[in-house]
C-alpha cells in the first residue's frame, strides 16, 4: 500500500461515514460540501451517475481542500481518468472490474472496489488491496456476513454501502473489520434538489455523533 492510499484510508476511517452524493449540477457542490463540513463530516463520494460528477469534484478540490473528495460508481477506465484529472482522491466502484482497479493503482488513486463474496475479497487481495466496498450491504447479508468474513480475511477492511441508515449504522461501525460506512440518507437527491442544506447539516451531525459514540 502506498503512503497516499494509507493516508486516504485513515481519513475515511476517522470520518466513519462517507456520504454518497448524486448531483444534477455542479453549482450545488460547494454548498452541499459546506453543509457536510458544518455537520462534522469532511468527506464526500461524488457518484458518476451524472455528467456533473467530474466538474463537481474539480470545484471541491480547488475551493474546499479540507474535504476528502472521491469518485463513486466508477464503471470503466475512461471514468477513472476523468476522476483523476478532476482531482479525485479516491475511487469507489459497485463491482469488481480488474481494468478499473489496475488503472487506479497505476495512477496511485486509492480504489475501493465493490464485492459481496469471498471470491471478490480474494480478487482484491490479489491486487494488493486492503480495503473494499461491501455492496449492496444489507441485501448481501449485512453485519452477519461481515462477521463471517473477519475470520478468513482478518487484514481486509470494508466500506459497507447499501441499506445503511441511522438505525443500523452503529451495528456496522462496531465491527473491527469495518473501515467506514457509505450512505445516501444524509444527502438524498430530494434534499439536494430542494437545497435543504440545513437538514443535510443536521443529518451529518447526527451521523458524526453516532460515529463518535462508537469510538
Segment 147-193, tens digit of pLDDT: 999 999 999 999 999 999 999 999 999 999 999 999 999 999 999 99
Its pTM stands at: 0.97
Q: Kindly indicate whether the domain formed by 3-209 is annotated with CATH number 3.10.20.30.
A: no
What is the predicted pLDDT for the residue at 34? 99
Residue in 27, 45, 102, 199 annotated catalytic: 45
- Residue in 122, 130, 133, 147 annotated catalytic: 133
Catalytic site includes residue 133: yes
Torsion-angle region of 90 (φ positive above 0: left; ψ -120 to 50: alpha; else: beta): beta
CA distances for 18 relative to 6, 102, 112, 127, 160, angstroms = 17, 23, 12, 24, 10
The model's confidence at residue 215, banded by pLDDT at 50, 70 and 90, is confident
Q: Domain locations in the chain?
A: 3-209
* pLDDT single digits (tens) 64-109: 999 999 999 999 999 999 999 999 999 999 999 999 999 999 999 9
Q: Is residue 45 annotated as a catalytic residue, yes or no?
A: yes
Amino acid at each position: 500500500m502506498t503512503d497516499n492510499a494509507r493516508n486516504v484510508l485513515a481519513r475515511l476511517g476517522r470520518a466513519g461515514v462517507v456520504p454518497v452524493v448524486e448531483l444534477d449540477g455542479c453549482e450545488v457542490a460547494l454548498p452541499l460540501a459546506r453543509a457536510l463540513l458544518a455537520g462534522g463530516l469532511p468527506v464526500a463520494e461524488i457518484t458518476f451517475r451524472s455528467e456533473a460528477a467530474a466538474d463537481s469534484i474539480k470545484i471541491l478540490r480547488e475551493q474546499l481542500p479540507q474535504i476528502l473528495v472521491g469518485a463513486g460508481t466508477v464503471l470503466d477506465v475512461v471514468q477513472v481518468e476523468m476522476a483523476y484529472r478532476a482531482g479525485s482522491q479516491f475511487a469507489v466502484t459497485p463491482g469488481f472490474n480488474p481494468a478499473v482497479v489496475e488503472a487506479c493503482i497505476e495512477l496511485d488513486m486509492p480504489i475501493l472496489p465493490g464485492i459481496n463474496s469471498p471470491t471478490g475479497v480474494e480478487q482484491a487481495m490479489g491486487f494488493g488491496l486492503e480495503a473494499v466496498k461491501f455492496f449492496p450491504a444489507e441485501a448481501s447479508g449485512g453485519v452477519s456476513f461481515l462477521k463471517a468474513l473477519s475470520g478468513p480475511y482478518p487484514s481486509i477492511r470494508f466500506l459497507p454501502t447499501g441499506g445503511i441508515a441511522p438505525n443500523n449504522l452503529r451495528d456496522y461501525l462496531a465491527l473491527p473489520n469495518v473501515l467506514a460506512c457509505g450512505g445516501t440518507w444524509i444527502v438524498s437527491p430530494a434534499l439536494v434538489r430542494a437545497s435543504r442544506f440545513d437538514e443535510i447539516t443536521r443529518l451529518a451531525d447526527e451521523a458524526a455523533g453516532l460515529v463518535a459514540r462508537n469510538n
